[in-house]
Amino acid sequence: MPGPGEVLARDALRDLAEGQNGLVSRRQAVDDLGVTPGALDHLVARGGLLPVARGIYRVPYLPGVENERYQVALLRTGDPEAALSHETALALHEISDVNPARYHVTIPTARRIRRSDNDAFVVHVEELMPDQLGWWNLMRVVTATTAIEQCIAYGTPTYLLRQGIERGERTGAVRRADVARLTQLLEDRA
Protein backbone atom coordinates (compact mmCIF):
# COMPACT_ATOMS: atom_id res chain seq x y z
CA MET A 1 0.00 0.00 0.00
CA PRO A 2 1.42 3.43 -0.93
CA GLY A 3 2.41 5.82 1.79
CA PRO A 4 0.68 9.20 2.27
CA GLY A 5 3.47 11.11 0.52
CA GLU A 6 3.22 8.89 -2.54
CA VAL A 7 -0.55 9.35 -2.74
CA LEU A 8 -0.19 13.14 -2.63
CA ALA A 9 2.59 13.07 -5.23
CA ARG A 10 0.54 10.83 -7.52
CA ASP A 11 -2.49 13.12 -7.18
CA ALA A 12 -0.44 16.23 -7.94
CA LEU A 13 1.19 14.56 -10.94
CA ARG A 14 -2.19 13.39 -12.24
CA ASP A 15 -3.65 16.89 -11.92
CA LEU A 16 -0.77 18.38 -13.90
CA ALA A 17 -0.72 15.60 -16.49
CA GLU A 18 -4.46 15.98 -17.19
CA GLY A 19 -3.72 19.26 -18.98
CA GLN A 20 -0.70 17.83 -20.81
CA ASN A 21 -2.15 14.80 -22.59
CA GLY A 22 -1.26 12.50 -19.72
CA LEU A 23 2.42 13.46 -19.62
CA VAL A 24 4.59 15.16 -17.02
CA SER A 25 8.30 15.97 -16.93
CA ARG A 26 10.72 15.16 -14.15
CA ARG A 27 11.58 18.86 -13.90
CA GLN A 28 7.92 19.76 -13.38
CA ALA A 29 7.49 17.03 -10.77
CA VAL A 30 10.55 18.01 -8.76
CA ASP A 31 10.77 21.79 -9.28
CA ASP A 32 7.12 22.79 -9.62
CA LEU A 33 5.30 20.19 -7.54
CA GLY A 34 7.95 19.46 -4.92
CA VAL A 35 7.94 15.71 -5.53
CA THR A 36 11.21 14.28 -4.27
CA PRO A 37 13.38 12.46 -6.80
CA GLY A 38 13.10 9.36 -4.61
CA ALA A 39 9.30 9.46 -4.63
CA LEU A 40 9.32 9.94 -8.40
CA ASP A 41 11.67 6.99 -8.89
CA HIS A 42 9.46 4.92 -6.59
CA LEU A 43 6.37 5.73 -8.66
CA VAL A 44 8.21 4.71 -11.82
CA ALA A 45 9.42 1.45 -10.24
CA ARG A 46 5.86 0.57 -9.14
CA GLY A 47 4.25 1.43 -12.48
CA GLY A 48 2.57 4.59 -11.24
CA LEU A 49 4.43 6.48 -13.97
CA LEU A 50 5.60 5.07 -17.29
CA PRO A 51 8.79 6.42 -18.91
CA VAL A 52 8.10 7.84 -22.38
CA ALA A 53 11.34 9.70 -23.09
CA ARG A 54 14.26 10.79 -20.97
CA GLY A 55 12.75 12.77 -18.11
CA ILE A 56 9.18 12.49 -19.44
CA TYR A 57 6.56 10.19 -17.92
CA ARG A 58 3.01 9.09 -18.73
CA VAL A 59 0.38 8.77 -16.03
CA PRO A 60 -0.93 5.36 -17.14
CA TYR A 61 -4.63 5.82 -16.42
CA LEU A 62 -5.01 9.15 -18.26
CA PRO A 63 -5.93 9.43 -21.93
CA GLY A 64 -3.25 10.66 -24.28
CA VAL A 65 -3.01 11.66 -27.91
CA GLU A 66 -2.16 9.50 -30.90
CA ASN A 67 1.23 11.13 -31.41
CA GLU A 68 2.43 12.13 -27.96
CA ARG A 69 5.82 13.16 -29.38
CA TYR A 70 4.37 16.63 -29.91
CA GLN A 71 3.73 16.93 -26.17
CA VAL A 72 7.17 15.45 -25.45
CA ALA A 73 8.73 18.12 -27.69
CA LEU A 74 7.05 20.86 -25.66
CA LEU A 75 7.95 19.34 -22.31
CA ARG A 76 11.58 18.80 -23.34
CA THR A 77 12.10 22.56 -23.53
CA GLY A 78 11.23 23.01 -19.86
CA ASP A 79 9.45 26.23 -20.81
CA PRO A 80 5.72 26.50 -20.04
CA GLU A 81 5.37 29.09 -22.84
CA ALA A 82 6.77 26.74 -25.51
CA ALA A 83 4.69 26.38 -28.68
CA LEU A 84 4.76 23.97 -31.59
CA SER A 85 5.90 26.03 -34.55
CA HIS A 86 7.36 26.25 -38.02
CA GLU A 87 6.89 23.12 -40.17
CA THR A 88 5.42 21.17 -37.25
CA ALA A 89 2.64 23.74 -36.83
CA LEU A 90 2.11 23.94 -40.59
CA ALA A 91 1.54 20.17 -40.65
CA LEU A 92 -0.80 20.30 -37.64
CA HIS A 93 -2.95 22.96 -39.33
CA GLU A 94 -3.32 20.50 -42.25
CA ILE A 95 -2.93 23.17 -44.92
CA SER A 96 0.26 21.86 -46.51
CA ASP A 97 1.75 18.50 -47.40
CA VAL A 98 4.87 19.37 -45.40
CA ASN A 99 6.27 16.37 -43.55
CA PRO A 100 8.83 17.70 -41.06
CA ALA A 101 11.72 15.42 -40.21
CA ARG A 102 12.04 17.08 -36.79
CA TYR A 103 9.71 18.61 -34.22
CA HIS A 104 9.89 22.42 -34.23
CA VAL A 105 9.20 24.26 -30.98
CA THR A 106 9.50 27.97 -30.23
CA ILE A 107 10.33 29.33 -26.79
CA PRO A 108 10.26 33.00 -25.80
CA THR A 109 13.77 33.24 -24.35
CA ALA A 110 17.03 31.46 -24.95
CA ARG A 111 17.77 28.71 -22.48
CA ARG A 112 20.10 25.77 -22.52
CA ILE A 113 18.24 22.59 -23.28
CA ARG A 114 20.03 19.32 -22.62
CA ARG A 115 18.82 16.14 -24.24
CA SER A 116 20.31 13.08 -25.82
CA ASP A 117 17.93 12.98 -28.80
CA ASN A 118 18.46 16.54 -30.02
CA ASP A 119 18.36 15.49 -33.67
CA ALA A 120 14.61 14.96 -33.29
CA PHE A 121 13.91 18.52 -32.07
CA VAL A 122 14.60 22.04 -33.28
CA VAL A 123 14.16 24.78 -30.68
CA HIS A 124 13.69 28.32 -31.99
CA VAL A 125 13.72 31.49 -29.92
CA GLU A 126 11.11 34.13 -30.74
CA GLU A 127 8.82 36.35 -28.70
CA LEU A 128 5.30 35.44 -29.79
CA MET A 129 2.28 37.65 -29.22
CA PRO A 130 -0.99 36.16 -27.89
CA ASP A 131 -2.69 36.59 -31.30
CA GLN A 132 0.02 34.39 -32.86
CA LEU A 133 -0.90 31.43 -30.66
CA GLY A 134 -3.68 28.91 -30.47
CA TRP A 135 -4.26 25.41 -29.13
CA TRP A 136 -4.29 21.94 -30.64
CA ASN A 137 -5.08 18.90 -28.43
CA LEU A 138 -4.19 20.81 -25.24
CA MET A 139 -0.90 21.97 -26.77
CA ARG A 140 0.13 25.52 -27.56
CA VAL A 141 0.72 25.95 -31.31
CA VAL A 142 1.37 28.99 -33.47
CA THR A 143 -1.36 30.10 -35.86
CA ALA A 144 -1.26 29.04 -39.50
CA THR A 145 -0.23 32.55 -40.55
CA THR A 146 2.63 32.62 -38.05
CA ALA A 147 3.72 29.12 -39.10
CA ILE A 148 3.89 30.23 -42.74
CA GLU A 149 5.89 33.35 -41.78
CA GLN A 150 8.30 31.20 -39.78
CA CYS A 151 8.63 28.67 -42.59
CA ILE A 152 9.39 31.41 -45.11
CA ALA A 153 12.29 32.55 -42.93
CA TYR A 154 13.33 28.95 -42.18
CA GLY A 155 13.61 27.98 -45.86
CA THR A 156 10.73 25.55 -46.27
CA PRO A 157 10.25 24.76 -50.00
CA THR A 158 8.21 27.37 -51.85
CA TYR A 159 5.65 24.94 -53.29
CA LEU A 160 4.71 23.77 -49.78
CA LEU A 161 4.26 27.36 -48.61
CA ARG A 162 2.17 28.34 -51.64
CA GLN A 163 0.05 25.30 -50.87
CA GLY A 164 -0.23 26.43 -47.24
CA ILE A 165 -1.29 29.93 -48.22
CA GLU A 166 -3.88 28.70 -50.75
CA ARG A 167 -5.35 25.98 -48.53
CA GLY A 168 -5.17 28.24 -45.51
CA GLU A 169 -7.24 30.88 -47.27
CA ARG A 170 -9.72 28.29 -48.52
CA THR A 171 -10.21 26.74 -45.05
CA GLY A 172 -10.16 30.03 -43.16
CA ALA A 173 -6.95 29.19 -41.29
CA VAL A 174 -5.30 32.18 -43.00
CA ARG A 175 -7.21 35.45 -43.18
CA ARG A 176 -7.69 36.97 -46.60
CA ALA A 177 -6.04 40.14 -45.33
CA ASP A 178 -2.84 38.13 -44.72
CA VAL A 179 -2.73 36.26 -48.04
CA ALA A 180 -1.22 39.10 -50.10
CA ARG A 181 1.36 39.89 -47.42
CA LEU A 182 2.41 36.23 -47.08
CA THR A 183 2.58 35.82 -50.86
CA GLN A 184 4.78 38.92 -51.09
CA LEU A 185 7.06 37.66 -48.30
CA LEU A 186 7.41 34.38 -50.17
CA GLU A 187 8.21 36.13 -53.47
CA ASP A 188 10.73 38.43 -51.77
CA ARG A 189 12.53 35.41 -50.34
CA ALA A 190 13.35 34.07 -53.81
171 shares a domain with 92: yes
Q: Which strands form 23-25's sheet, in the order they lie side by side? A: 23-25, 56-58, 50-53
Please check whether residue 40 is in contact with residue 56, taking contact to mean a CB–CB distance below 8 angstroms.
Answer: no
**pLDDT digit string (tens) for 99-158?**
999 999 999 976 666 554 567 899 999 999 999 999 999 999 999 999 999 999 999 999
33 shares a domain with 104: no
Residue 190 binned pLDDT confidence (cut-offs 50, 70, 90): confident
What are the two backbone dihedrals, phi and then psi, of residue 148, each rounded to the nearest 5 degrees?
Answer: -65, -45
122 shares a domain with 92: yes
**Total domain count for the chain?**
2
109 shares a domain with 39: no
- In a domain? residue 24: yes
- In a domain? residue 63: no
**pLDDT digit string (tens) for 76-86?**
999 999 999 99
d(CA 68, CA 87): 17
124 shares a domain with 47: no
- In a domain? residue 64: no
Give the side-chain half-sphere CA count within 13 A for 149. 13
137 shares a domain with 51: no
pLDDT of residue 90: 97
Quick count: other Cβ atoms within 10 Å of Cβ 79?
17
151 shares a domain with 78: yes
Residue 1 binned pLDDT confidence (cut-offs 50, 70, 90): very low
For residue 33, the enclosing domain spans 4-58
